[in-house]
Amino acid sequence: MKIISINAGSSSLKFSLINMEDESVIANGVFERIGIDGKYTIKFNGEKYTEDVQLKDHNDAVNILLEKLISLKIVNSLDEIEGVGHRVVQGKDLFDKTVIVDDEVMEKLESIKHFAPLHNPANMLGIKAFQKALPNVPNTVVFDTAFHQTMKPETYLYAVPYQWYEKYGIRKYGAHGTSHRYITEVTSNLLGTENFKLISCHIGNGASITAIKDGKCVDTSMGFTPLAGVMMGTRSGDIDPSLLPPVMEAENKDINAIINDLNKNSGVLGLSGISSDMRDLEDAYNKGNERAILTMNKYARRITDYIAQYYVLLGGADVITFTAGVGENSPLVRKLVCDNLACLGIKIDEEKNQVRGKQTLISTEDSKVKVYVIPTDEELMIARDTLELIKR
């Protein structure tokens, strides 16, 4: 049984072909510059295949992908593909779990696409391309927001006029839900129970912290969009919106240009003036660069703030997990955050904390909270959900 996980963006389409018997990745890759010129990279059997090809639209990308699966002998026949799972960024409050795509689902997706204008329409193009190319294979949609649908109104509402919520759907939706759900499952297996309090830190270029009790999301740091919460690679995280008008006036920018600055030119990149990449920031920090030290301390402080807030919200925590690019690979960030949390009796083992990209318990035996590094796997979660639904 083979399943494809798809993450379609406006000009790219990432795929992972997974063998569900042992959950191994058979092949993965990316189709890029769709609608511009086109290029694909496919990794299979330790080889990397790259070619510049004309990709007018997402249909071209899917057709060439399926062609390559055969010609590179990744599969013998397309009949081996039994399902395609698609990552969708925003499901609003219309979707609280993964579903099989039908006309009603596509209509609902159409009705909410303006809530994630850069992402949802692209996700839908990916779905339509597979519906066309493999008409007999079921597609599923796996939402970044679904896991967070268990938040209570007192958590997901903003203290703004209530009509904004009623009329325009203004509320916290969160993101990275598939990753936080995967981490919750792995933690549950590690602890051998479903009943625990977990603070899950997904810290990549985008970053979100989620408070989870007994497998359900209680609160999460991202908001109406992924701009909210902690400081990220290029995103500001939470700010006071009243700072916008003076900057707009001084820089002669409209609201879209300013929101673009908050999304693309802020965070680690904006504050350090060095790079959005944690590896570059760490280099500069280790060389004693003052702005890098300031940025690193602020970065760790913002993550600490959310962990501390959720520790109180949950009435304590059994486990804190670190995942995604920074969370899995930066001993420095983990150390700074955990040192900030020392007053809660949280202690990490310096040596164990040197781990990169490998599941490891990094807290000491006498730490009041267990701290784990757990690599995330959103593609596998998408494939598992798809398998679960098509088996029924």
| Contact call for residue 80 and ligand AMP (CB under 6 A) | no
Choose the catalytic residue: 22, 96, 103, 144: 144
Q: Which amino acid is at 165?
A: Y
Enumerate residues 280-309 that contact ligand AMP by CB under 6 A: 282
Contact 230, 324 (CB under 8 A): no
Q: Which residue is nearest to ligand AMP (CB)?
A: 325
271 is an interface residue for ligand AMP by CB under 6 A: no
Q: What share of the chain is helix, strand, coil (3-state, %, to 5)?
A: 45, 20, 35
- 277 or 318: CB nearest ligand AMP: 277
Distance of closest approach, residue 261 Cβ to ligand AMP, in angstroms: 19
Distance, first Cα to last Cα, the chain: 14
Q: How far is CA 66 from CA 39, 74, 347, in A?
A: 15, 10, 49
Query: Is residue 196 classed as helix, strand or coil in its secondary structure?
Result: coil
Stretch of 48-56, 138-146, 158-166, 275-283 lying at the interface with ligand AMP (CB under 6 A): 275-283
Residue 389 Cβ vs ligand AMP, minimum distance, rounded to whole Å: 26
Asked if 324 touches ligand AMP (CB under 6 A), the answer is yes
- Give the Cα separation of 16 and 6 in Å (integer): 7
Stretch that binds ligand AMP, among 52-60, 65-73, 276-284, 296-304 (CB under 6 A): 276-284
Integer Cα distance of 149 and 101 in angstroms:
20
Residue with Cβ nearer ligand AMP (378 or 385):
378
- Identify the sign of the CA torsion 160, 268, 262, 207: negative
Token couple for 216: 């359900």
Q: Given the complex with ligand AMP, which of 80 and 277 has the nearer CB atom?
A: 277
User: Is the C-alpha dihedral spanning 215, 217, 221, 225 positive or negative?
Assistant: positive
**Is 219 considered catalytic here?**
no
Of the pair 195, 354, the CB lying nearest ligand AMP is at: 354
When asked if residue 233 is in the footprint of ligand AMP (CB under 6 A), the reply is yes
Residue 62 is a binding residue for ligand AMP (CB under 6 A)? no
Residue 148 or 176 with smaller CB distance to ligand AMP: 176
Residue-by-residue DSSP string for 263-316: HHS-HHHHHHSS-S-HHHHHHHHHTT-HHHHHHHHHHHHHHHHHHHHHHHHHTS
State the Cα–Cα distance between residues 84 and 223, nearest whole angstrom. 28
* 338 touches 308 (CB < 8 A): no
Query: Is 226 an interacting residue with respect to ligand AMP (CB under 6 A)?
Result: no
- If one asks whether residue 237 binds ligand AMP (CB under 6 A), the answer comes out as no
Question: Do residues 137 and 80 make contact, with C-beta atoms less than 8 angstroms apart?
Answer: no
Nearer to ligand AMP, 132 or 356 (CB): 356
For residue 283, the minimal CB distance to ligand AMP (Å) is 10
In the region spanning residues 25 to 44, those forming contacts with ligand AMP, defined by CB under 6 A, are: none
Tell me, what amino acid is at 212?
Answer: I
* Chain center to CA of 66: 26
Closest CB 278 distance from ligand AMP, rounded Å: 3
Among 97, 114, 132, 279, binds ligand AMP (CB under 6 A): 279
Query: Counting contacts by CB under 6 A, is residue 200 touching ligand AMP?
Result: no
270 touching ligand AMP, by CB under 6 A: no
Q: What does the binding site for ligand AMP look like in residue numbers (CB under 6 A)?
A: 204-205, 233, 277-279, 282, 324-326, 329-330, 356
